[in-house]
Amino acid sequence: MMSVDASSRVEAVYAEVLRRNPGEPEFHQAVREVLHSLEPVLRKCPQYADANLVERLVEPERQVIFRVPWTDDAGEVHVNRGYRVQFSSALGPYKGGLRFVPQLSLGTVKFLAFEQIFKNALTGLGIGAGKGGADFDPKGRSDAEVMRFCQSFMTELHRHLGEHTDVPAGDINVGAREIGYLFGQYKRLANRYEAGVLTGKGIGWGGSHARTEATGYGTVHFVQEMLGTRGEELDGLRVVLSGSGNVSLFAVEKAQALGAQVVACSDSSGYVVDEAGLDLDLLKEIKLERRGRLDTYAEARAGARFSSRGSVYDVPCDVALPCATQNELREEHALGLVKNGVKVVAEGANMPCTPDAVAVLREAGVRYGPGKAANAGGVATSALEMRQNAARESWTFSEAEARLAVVMRGIHADCVTAAEEFGTPDDYVLGANAAGFLRVAEAMRDQGVV
């Protein structure tokens, strides 16, 4: 295969991924996007095709699937399925979040872990890539039920973790409460206070300031850098976001702090438009305290309107930040955004834009920031939390955010440099994939066939 051209080699690798991973469309999508953007890299740097490096890169180092039995408050026994995909340790211990969502599948976890390879490499902070979770829904469950589930989950997973082996964090439906229960059970089983084994911990016992805000803040920092390459800034621009969880809420907060007019956001019930600018305090109260729906916002805020039809991307804007879930922004949404004059689309979620949507945006000349670059702020701050744990330090909020801003500027600069080096200036997809790949590939070459 060594003499085969880069395009043919990529197609052969992708065909093998399809054969070995049937029924996992999200993983296929993530691999295809990366492989095709790496063709110019492999043409210019054929040494990275040595020893089937690319073939090894798309195969996880370890995949763990396990049973999670637990008992609800009424004494009924339930059984869920847990996952941890440890994809790459070339740059450091496996690092990536845990999510608890009812429809979670191995293919979804694998796609997330694969994306994490490049995202984590871009941070430059010495972390590998993993992802995990369970098909458990904590919504509507008591604290005691969530605790029992987390303890059962960690009872199996703990044998695969360690601050120098695998360091999970939170993700969808896994917040401070769940991390606390998981850490408590790990400590109990391991018989040691290993603060660096989980990130997203409480501030009083090893957590980092700005971790909750980091993904949303980081996405906005990245957008500001994207705009800066054309002499623009967020001040005065109209912004819409999908989602209304932590990523979205803190993206709103940072965008407003930089002078943007954030006019719309969404949840699973629909979207709200507030031409006066979203009232962040009201939004946080509804979403973080009341756990309510966005129609409540429209009822409480004069001039705001709620719609359960259409899409938040129907709202005209200069900047769109998809921050909800994978494949939410489709081709028809992208066409609407382009028609309404959008300048920048940056992903606060993981792979929220479908391939057809990305093609529309790129064809129209819209600046598109892929999630592996634009939303790397969360994992970057997790790695910074690990650094604080190792040194027994605790930074202030301003110190933690300042370090986050430095990391995001560095990621943006690396993406721009790589895109230029491989002949497609302003292509953040190629830039992010190439910059991340080169770091991982060099480490893999140095470490031999392992």
Interval 137-185: pLDDT, tens: 998 999 999 999 999 999 999 999 999 999 999 999 999 999 999 999 9
pLDDT of residue 4: 57
Over residues 120-144, the pLDDT tens digits come to: 999 999 999 999 999 999 989 999 9
Inform me whether the pLDDT recorded for 3 exceeds 90: no
215 is in an annotated binding site: yes
Task: Give the model's confidence band at 420: pLDDT under 50 very low, under 70 low, under 90 confident, else very high.
Answer: very high
CA gap 280, 193 in Å, rounded: 37
Q: Give the residue numbers annotated as catalytic, written as ranges.
A: 131
pLDDT above 90 coverage of the chain, percent: 95
Sheet strands side by side (includes 62-71): 62-71, 77-88, 129-134, 94-100, 166-170
Burial code (b: 16+ CB inside 10 Å, e: under 16) for 364-374 equals eebbbbbbbbb
Kindly state the average pLDDT of the residues 55-68. Answer: 98
- Annotated ligand binding at 119? The verdict is yes
The per-residue pLDDT for range 11-27, each reduced to its tens digit, is: 999 999 999 999 999 99
The answer to whether 246 is a known ligand-binding residue is yes
Matching CATH topology for 62-193 and 212-369?
A: yes
**Arithmetic mean of pLDDT over the chain:** 96
Per-residue pLDDT averaged across 366-386, rounded?
97
Name the percent of the chain lying above pLDDT 70.
99
How confident is the model at residue 2, as a pLDDT? Answer: 40
DSSP run (H or E) holding 96: strand 94-100
Q: Is the pLDDT of residue 6 over 90?
A: no
Overall average pLDDT of the 302-331 stretch: 96
Q: 212-369 belongs to which CATH class?
A: alpha beta
Q: Is the pLDDT of residue 289 over 80?
A: yes
Fold (CATH) for 6-57: Glutamate Dehydrogenase; Chain A, domain 3 (1.10.285)
Does 261 appear as a known binding residue? Answer: no
- Could you tell me which CATH number the domain at 62-193 has? 3.40.50.10860
Distance in angstroms (rounded) separating the CA atoms of residues 26 and 34: 13
Q: Is 110 annotated as a binding residue?
A: no
Calculate mean pLDDT across residues 56-64.
Answer: 98
Consult the annotation and say whether 116 binds a ligand.
yes
Q: What is the pLDDT of residue 49?
A: 83
Say how far apart CA 48 and CA 447 lie, in whole Å.
13
Instruction: Please tell me the pTM assigned to this model.
Output: 0.94
| 23-52: average pLDDT | 93
List, in order, residues 6 or more apart from 230 with CB less than 8 Å away.
none
Cα separations (Å) of 242 from 330, 353, 412, 428?
13, 12, 23, 21
**81-105 pLDDT per residue, tens:** 999 999 999 999 999 999 999 999 9
Q: What is the mean pLDDT of residues 310-322?
A: 97
Give the list of residues 6+ apart from residue 80 with CB closer than 8 angstroms, or none: 67, 68, 70, 134, 135, 136, 149
Would the pLDDT of 222 be above 60?
yes
Nearest to 324 by CA among 394, 396, 240, 384: 240
**Maximum distance among all Cα pairs of the chain, rounded to whole angstroms:** 66
Question: What is the per-residue pLDDT for 291?
Answer: 84
What residue segments make up the domains of the chain, in order of their start? 6-57, 62-193, 212-369
Q: What is the mean pLDDT of residues 198-226?
A: 96
The mean pLDDT value for 409-438 works out to 96
pLDDT tens for residues 252-287?
A: 999 999 999 999 999 999 999 999 999 999 999 999
Residue 329 has pLDDT above 60, yes or no: yes
Of 366, 406, 446, 440, nearest in space to 57 by CA: 440
* Amino acid code (one letter) for 215: T
- Predicted pLDDT at 230: 93
Q: Residue 380 pLDDT more than 50? A: yes
Examine the pLDDT at 435 and tell me if it is beyond 50.
yes
